[in-house]
Copies of this chain bind each other. A is one copy, B any other.
């Protein structure tokens, strides 16, 4: 163990923990670039990968250069004293190697892995081996349940000690913002429903991105408890809490290859629900060409698995298989989606009926799952159309912290129909790509507003959709892209 003086390098890596030692100190300590070290400040510690400074200008002898992620984690500043010691590969590495050779992992072993991932003791390479081992060798049902539990136990848990409802959608359909309608309906009916959502990774918007057009979504655990206690619900970004943190870190390394192993998908979804103490969970599996469940067989298999894992974890899980063949609602992109949601909650006549109907159906199913209602659909519809859900949504927004200074992108590109016919299909992936090119989800007001949906009759020259963006440059890029494909299949 050696004492060193912190030098804040003022550089962020986007997640990787890096510490830098002067080459003379490194030689003295027999440490090399790429070595794994533990840096300690009081009781807080963090595992870092070592880089070596070749000149004292960047990091002098006796100093330890730290990147921002490490500075933030240890709560240190320039010239603070920290301890550094060499550390070997964590125990998980040997376990992952065994999994790669086909071993079945126990709860204790999966806990060790989740714990090492949570505390950043593993490198990206090692985490990637874990993902591929699980993907290629598979996780059996026991392992999925054990991994779920391990990811929950190595993070924070919230418990509302009463019936707690939750919903989840496995994604793949632009505009599918049922959460922001289902949650206020359920909360207005008097149930607890603390919803944590994700931000977009490859899609044009996640529920957290869309909700952020209306309210703050990055809340502390304490703030969330307060919101749920006061309103019965919340719609927040799950990433800002510490719920199953290993899951988020596993997803980071899955992303580069879009690996989405079934076992990890199940564990990931169930861990988030389990860590908020959900007792009744409704899961939406959209089925379509570009969704995870692109055949009936796959959708039904996933349904079976979700229900099975739920049962093993003591949760009541119901799965709804929905139409994933085209975008839902009119808006695609954070703000344009938020406007759809508000229109539905306000009972505006121009609100998208597909999104409204889907949300009522789901809310109704959740209500029936509690055993307190026979015709959930009717009850949910009444709560929505009476304005009670809108009132509840405003309560949630105000308690989380209202935000509403946003405008749709000021550069607009209307896209017209090239021929007469009927819209057969709309390609979710193309629509998502156009919305992302327009700037979603970073530019909240960017995206698409869709005028024609599948089965609609269209004439040549009729408006199919409008692109909203913040720059003429992006309009030009999209125009070029649209020459090849506008996502519409018209017959």
Whether A10 and B136, one on each chain, are in contact in the complex, defined by CB atoms closer than 8 angstroms, is no
Q: Which residues of B contact A347 (CB under 8 A)?
A: none
Of all chain B residues, the one with the shortest Cβ separation from A135 is B100
Choose from B55, B126, B257 the contact partner of A129 (Cβ within 8 Å): B257
Q: Does A229 contact B (CB under 8 A)?
A: no
Q: Does A57 contact B (CB under 8 A)?
A: yes
Q: How many residues of A contact B (CB 8 A)?
A: 45
Q: Which residues of B contact A123 (CB under 8 A)?
A: 124, 256
Interface residues in A25-65 (C-beta closer than 8 Å to B): 30, 32-34, 51-55, 57-59, 65
Q: Which residues of B contact A9 (CB under 8 A)?
A: 58
Q: Does A162 contact B (CB under 8 A)?
A: no
Q: Does A82 contact B (CB under 8 A)?
A: no
Q: Within the oligomer, what is the number of copies of this chain?
A: 2
Interface residues in A326-346 (C-beta closer than 8 Å to B): none
Complex interface: stretch among A11-19, A108-116, A278-286: A11-19
Q: Which residues of B contact A257 (CB under 8 A)?
A: 93, 96-97, 100, 125-126, 129
Knowing A14-B34, A257-B96, the reply to whether A132 touches B137 (Cβ < 8 A) is: no
In the complex the two chains form, what is the Cα distance from A128 to B256 in whole Å?
Answer: 11
Q: Top 10 closest A-B pairs, CB basis? A: A14-B33, A132-B132, A136-B136, A14-B34, A128-B128, A10-B58, A10-B55, A10-B54, A125-B128, A13-B51
19 additional contacts, CB 8 Å, given A12-B52, A100-B135? A9-B58, A10-B58, A11-B53, A11-B58, A11-B65, A12-B54, A14-B52, A15-B34, A100-B259, A123-B124, A124-B124, A124-B128, A125-B257, A128-B128, A128-B129, A132-B132, A133-B136, A136-B136, A136-B137
